Structure 1
């Protein structure tokens, strides 16, 4: 059994950035479960399925195969053998992933792969329900969060740097809606595990957050 660090939290809290840095410092494998859900979301979008078409999403799971690989230490997501990593951050993909991830068939599709990785390797795994559902016996559990304003500003600046047109107010509303969906969904809702350490990164630098998580791992 590998050493497991589970990092949960809402959209835009910086989970992926922080988890990658923690994994690098400790020499662990980074597993971005959100990217796996986004990979499935691309499959649904490619088929022209709407986020509200629950039955269509369930059926589409049957002919989707999500695998992960690593190139130069970076996680890559493959959908039916095609590397789709470059599309994972598209807004439409994120919205589809947020809505479809609450469907039991979608979660079951990916759960075994996630647990198998954590069984064989030392991992830092981030998502919405890692400490509560995927790896309930993880060695260390972190609930990483930040204010809606902080998360919206981060996303706004990220899009501006990419040269994409964006509206701060819309981004903030989208984040609030994702929070609502994630926290109220029937399957594995977003919540802080009872034994998780709460880390609010609103007023912390990236290095401060990583240092804090590393200090928790040493306890």
Structure 2
């Protein structure tokens, strides 16, 4: 395989681990396309919420998503999500949307419907994909796989700062409880549970900033390509 062949960098981890910011940084460095899988599910959840559909009714949820119109643009610090042609950056960052996304992500019909859309994002020159099952389900043959982790406390603080920075009110204790509950749901769901790929490099970002994690990831990628160890 030539080093110039398109390849996937899969970055998985729980919410608040820093995988989204890392994916954006790595995509810019490599000049690759970017897939924010978590945002895909939040956009799907927002569509369902906007339609007033009961989140517990799987058939209705799946039916609503048949006409899902979403796209992304790469911004300076975040990917910009569009639903039905509208910028919904603020809406998908609400905790209610994140919780709804975690609920509908349990459904096999939802995951199957969104799987093809996500896989179609892999185009030349390459793709950086972040989510919860990028390296295990969506791109199991990804050349590079990383799994980011961080303590619940650290992730709650990061989430708090992100929300406040966007002008959204937040409470640290509530965020910590919601993150813990979401982790439990994501780890124990039947469809694509949140687990590291067996061949993923696990990185604890609790005590590292974005630049340090990005440097670690890029060093691994560059060293692997240099040694042709794939």
TM-score normalised to the size of structure 2?
Answer: 0.87
Q: 2:89 aligned with 1:66, yes or no?
A: no
Equivalent residue number for residue 89 of structure 1: 93
Equivalent residue number for residue 20 of structure 2: 16
Equivalent residues in 2 for 1:101-120 (5 A)? 101-120=105-124
Q: 2:190 aligned with 1:178, yes or no?
A: no
- CA 1:116–1:153: 2 relative to 1, 3 Å: same
> Which is worse superposed, 71-80 or 118-127?
71-80
For structure 2, the residue ranges without an aligned partner over 5 or more in a row are 225-230
What is the distance in 1 between the residues matched to 2:42 and 2:10? 19
Deviation at 1:69, TM superposition (A): 4.1
Report the count of equivalent residues.
218
What is the distance in 1 between the residues matched to 2:36 and 2:183? 19
Deviation at 1:187, TM superposition (A): 0.8
Q: 2:203 aligned with 1:199, yes or no?
A: yes
> Which is worse superposed, 34-43 or 193-202?
34-43
Secondary structure of 2:122's partner?
helix
Q: Equivalent of 1:126, from 123, 130, 142?
A: 130
TM-score normalised to the size of structure 1?
Answer: 0.91
Alignment root-mean-square deviation, CA: 1.9
Deviation at 1:7, TM superposition (A): 0.2
Equivalent residue number for residue 139 of structure 1: 143
For structure 1, the residue ranges without an aligned partner over 5 or more in a row are none
Secondary structure of 2:198's partner?
coil
Deviation at 1:105, TM superposition (A): 1.4
Deviation at 1:186, TM superposition (A): 0.9
What is the distance in 2 between the residues matched to 1:140 and 1:51? 34
Instruction: Decide whether the 8 Å contact of 2:33 with 2:123 is kept in 1.
Output: no
Instruction: Decide whether the 8 Å contact of 2:186 with 2:193 is kept in 1.
Output: yes
Q: 2:108 aligned with 1:99, yes or no?
A: no
